[in-house]
Structure 1
Amino acid sequence: MPSRHHSTARSDFDRRRFLKLSSASVLLPGFAYGQSSFPSNPDVVTVGAGAAGIAAAHKLRERGVSYVHVEAAAQVGGRVITETGTFGMPYDVGAHWVQNETRNPYFERAKSSGGRFYRAPEEYGIYNESGPASEDEIASMWEAWEAVEGAISKAGKSRQDVAPASVAPTDNPWSQTGWFGIGSWEMGKDMDAFSCLDWWESAGSNDWYYADGYGTLVANHAKGLDVALNTAVTKITWGGDGVEVETTGGTIRAKAVILTVSTGVLAGEGIAFDPPLPVEKQESFNAISMGFYNHIALHFSEDIFGLGEDGYVLHKVDDSFEAFGVLVNASGTGLAYCDVGGDFARELELAGADTAMDFVVGKLRNLIGADVDKYLTKGTVSEWGKDPFVRGCYASAAPGGFPMREVLRQPVGDRIFFAGEACHEDIWATVGGADVTGTRVAEDLADLLV
């Protein structure tokens, strides 16, 4: 998703006394990236091989901490996957925008990769209900957008942990477009479902693109690591000495576990805990909740939008909020990311890929005309909400939930540690935020173990 905002806050990891506990060895199937077996008697089990889990594994290995690394899916990357099978070119099924520049370790990895890496342009095509908007309409749209953004900023700056829907204006004919752009398109949530304060405390960013795909960068960073793929964690027992991590490939006993799974999985009880986690910790999974955001990706053989490479298309949004924003001609490939978010994204996902495709193509026909069908070659739809190992797109605080982000990232019982984009204090919802938290938690855990 494109980003358009701002500021910073930080809270340090709370170091605790770590219990030096014994552990037993286990051998699991499905290893990838290197050796055919893991160390016996691991100190740590790392759960999840997205950006946070990969970063944690690198740091644990660097610090000489033995670990077992498991991933429920059939590939590394988590929500950052690049595939080439559908379109014959890189397509980012999940994250696509490289954000936060010097604070994002993947920014430097992209710069040093030898691949094409460049700052996103800011060219927009604005449409009314039936075609290109007039200059006056475009001016009105940006005026509405700035008014909505200003209202959210004012509330956040004054520490109001309230929903944007309670403060954002609706008096401009284009107000709903601003609501969609800042809410569904940016946050993956409607304007009644996230916190002005959490939004305000997030870091501003410029967007960059890596032409070979963000997922390619993440997969490359995982090379050399040992990861047990297709190995889902079902239960974590932590009431006695150390932890017992039950997986579909066997039970692992270790001193501690680093969980990098989404709050969607945690809130949905995708992993059982014995004894149950503290009530406040459980509440944090729901307070820092997942939104819904999907790509309806279309390939066009010609630049039907006339914006050149990496332009954006927005259309006038009505009260139904059945809307999408488009990144067109991504990296010059003809690929258009037609993105939906919030409740409507979830509704389309539940209705099925055909319904989602019909909605976008039908809408584009109204806006662009017959060229849509003439030059459309292929399409596909992501469905992150249906993925049992993700259950949404990325996390943000629900109204009133801002304080729970601190609760979310705190360890439990000196045994269960948490990392991932949702745990970062201000660059949450980003790949860089996930990477930073994975490194941070592994570093702190290593300090306690070594």
Structure 2
Amino acid sequence: MLLWPRAKCLLLAAFSLLSAVSWAQNLPAENPDKRDIAMQYDADVIVVGAGFAGLAAADELKNQGLSVLLLEARDRIGGRAHTVYDGEQAIEMGANWLHGQDNNPLVRLAEEQGIGLSPVTQWSGAVVYDEFGEQIEDAQSQLQRWDTVVEDYVEQYLEREPNASIQMLMDDAQKSGDLGFVSDELHSSFINFVFEQDWSADAADLSVQAAEDGKDYLGGDPMPLRGFRPMLQQLSKNIRVRLGHQVVALEQSANAVDVIVNHQGQEQTLRTKRALLTVPVSILQAGNIRFNPQLSARKREAINVIGIGQLNKVWLKFPEVFWDDNHAILRVSPEKGRFSLWVNIHAISGEPYLLALSTAANLEAGSDAEIVEEAMLGLRGIYGDDIPEPSKNYISRWHNDPFSMGAYSYLRQGGRPEHRDILAEPEGRIHFAGEASHRDFPSTVHGAYLSGLREAAKITVELKPFSESKTPAEQEAKKENQE
């Protein structure tokens, strides 16, 4: 079923040694030039980007005995996971949920680190209001019926029109009369709830293959009680991190990668045996990092068909709770995606917060005061003019962030899941990780985390003699031999 939100879940365990060895056998031979012996490296591996992908990779590479230097353009670690605090309430400006508890490696990591998790968010019990503030009593049954029809159309389009957009499919289904039981306004809202909120993308630009992009884990979506920050701090504990270091170029030679860095307006060059790039795909699309030699045509195509969407968060704290008990509150908005989905944080953490998720493209153009006022107009349309004003607000602006330029990845029209595999392919001594490069679990913290482990396994096999490797597969093999 397509019923929203797609349980975007998470990841498999790290690469086995066998798969990593198989991959490494295809590498070109090292240059035997004697000058390599005397070459000075700043680290065995330089990791670019201190989000979950970069930190997971750096932590694993260090555990494997390699020297690692992690470069981050921002003045903080975390990338698109950014926690601020209001007392006991963790305010997540970016990543918020662990999607799917069952077999989720980040859930296991949280348990190992003693990080508690909230109750799961009950998305399926959402209350739905129309554009006039009246509750739509049968909205859930309409959504289930709508979902069944759309699922049939998705199967047809994947077979005969795999390069179409979600909007093309929806227009076809609507013109056929198969969705005649739902109003145009509710139909538009369902598209937003099911697809656009899930992928932070407009349906007109979203590939129909997004319906089968990635895998799902069961178990519901909890939040880390103190946010993702403690988890990130644990991962970075013993890593050499340089903040405020923006990588602007990567230059490969026979035996090294020169990493050109801008720090406080001054460029410097660092040398490494392998570079791991974990920046968002939007940074690559914008050409903010130069490559010499340039990336392959195959890689450039993959970069361009993977989009990065706009999804922002508006946290509002109130002196009292006046809204429904349901975990999710949906509103048919006059402008699709603009203050149409609210999450009842009070039902999850006990704190009097409402969280709006907005995919509206022009939201960031407004001032904080203008955004809050517009949000309040929508809430007054549901709950009346007498509701209190918020005492605090926190608003994200990921599209205007120069180091993310968007929220998370999606497949553009014409894009295929295989493009994520191509994005993950190394180019010489440069490796690539990040949520956009994980075919099974894109657009999640979990996908980012495991993509980092994936590349750490590849790099370990390249740089260390197999007899010295400490990969999980080898540890198991050694244990069996000892027994």
Does the pair score TM above 0.5? yes
CA positional deviation for 1:111: 2.9
1:110-146 alpha-carbon deviations (Å, 9 max, x no partner) = 2344343132234312111222414235533443355
Letter in 1 for 2:212: W
Contact 1:48 1:69 in 2 (8 A): yes
Q: Kindly tell me: are residues 399 and 422 of structure 1, through their superposed partners in 2, closer, same or farther at Cα, counting changes over 3 Å?
A: same
Matches within 5 A, 1:140-151: 140-149=142-151, 151=153
Matches within 5 A, 1:37-436: 41-84=42-85, 89-117=89-117, 118-122=119-123, 123-149=125-151, 151-152=153-154, 155-156=157-158, 160-168=162-170, 169-170=173-174, 171=180, 172-173=182-183, 174-205=186-217, 206-249=220-263, 250-307=268-325, 311-318=327-334, 322-329=338-345, 330-341=348-359, 344=360, 346-372=361-387, 374=388, 376-402=390-416, 403-412=418-427, 414-436=428-450
Q: Kindly tell me: are residues 100 and 306 of structure 1, through their superposed partners in 2, closer, same or farther at Cα, counting changes over 3 Å?
A: closer
Match for residue 17 of structure 1? 27
Contact 1:176 1:319 in 2 (8 A): no
Contact 1:5 1:202 in 2 (8 A): no
Q: Give the TM-score of the pair, scaled to structure 2.
A: 0.81
Instruction: Look up the SS of the partner of 1:70 in the other structure.
Output: strand
1:12-46 alpha-carbon deviations (Å, 9 max, x no partner) = 77433255464855xxxxxxxxxxxxxx6422111
Q: Kindly tell me: are residues 246 and 24 of structure 1, through their superposed partners in 2, closer, same or farther at Cα, counting changes over 3 Å?
A: farther
CA positional deviation for 1:194: 1.8
Instruction: Look up the SS of the partner of 2:317 in the other structure.
Output: strand
Q: Give the TM-score of the pair, scaled to structure 1.
A: 0.87
**4+ runs deviating over 6 angstroms:** 6-13
CA positional deviation for 1:382: 0.1
Letter in 1 for 2:71: V
Is 1:444–2:445 an aligned residue pair? no
Instruction: Report the Cα distance in structure 2 between the residues aligned to 1:104 and 1:157, rounded to whole angstroms.
Output: 32
Instruction: Report the Cα distance in structure 2 between the residues aligned to 1:340 and 1:255, rounded to whole angstroms.
Output: 42
1:44-70 alpha-carbon deviations (Å, 9 max, x no partner) = 111011000011101111111222111
Contact 1:100 1:427 in 2 (8 A): no
Instruction: Report the Cα distance in structure 2 between the residues aligned to 1:203 and 1:276, rounded to whole angstroms.
Output: 32
Computing the radius of gyration from Cα coordinates, the structure with the larger value is 2
Contact 1:145 1:179 in 2 (8 A): no
CA-based RMSD: 2.7
Instruction: Report the Cα distance in structure 2 between the residues aligned to 1:432 and 1:199, rounded to whole angstroms.
Output: 19
Contact 1:184 1:340 in 2 (8 A): no
Instruction: Report the Cα distance in structure 1 between the residues aligned to 2:412 and 2:47, rounded to whole angstroms.
Output: 28
Contact 1:157 1:197 in 2 (8 A): no
Instruction: Look up the SS of the partner of 2:203 in the other structure.
Output: coil
Q: Kindly tell me: are residues 96 and 347 of structure 1, through their superposed partners in 2, closer, same or farther at Cα, counting changes over 3 Å?
A: same
Letter in 1 for 2:82: I
Contact 1:49 1:76 in 2 (8 A): yes
Instruction: Report the Cα distance in structure 2 between the residues aligned to 1:214 and 1:8, rounded to whole angstroms.
Output: 16
CA positional deviation for 1:236: 0.9
Instruction: Report the Cα distance in structure 2 between the residues aligned to 1:213 and 1:93, rounded to whole angstroms.
Output: 10
What percentage of residue pairs aligned between the two structures are identical?
24
Contact 1:163 1:192 in 2 (8 A): yes
Contact 1:104 1:436 in 2 (8 A): no
Instruction: Could you tell me which runs of 5 or more consecutive residues in structure 2 were left unpaired when the two chains were aligned.
Output: 175-179, 465-483
Q: Kindly tell me: are residues 24 and 364 of structure 1, through their superposed partners in 2, closer, same or farther at Cα, counting changes over 3 Å?
A: farther
When the two structures are aligned, how many residues end up with a matched partner?
A: 427
Instruction: Could you tell me which runs of 5 or more consecutive residues in structure 1 were left unpaired when the two chains were aligned.
Output: 26-39
Letter in 1 for 2:399: G
Deviates more, 1:168-177 or 1:5-14: 5-14
Instruction: Report the Cα distance in structure 1 between the residues aligned to 2:322 and 2:11, rounded to whole angstroms.
Output: 43
CA positional deviation for 1:274: 1.9
Contact 2:116 2:225 in 1 (8 A): yes
CA positional deviation for 1:275: 2.4
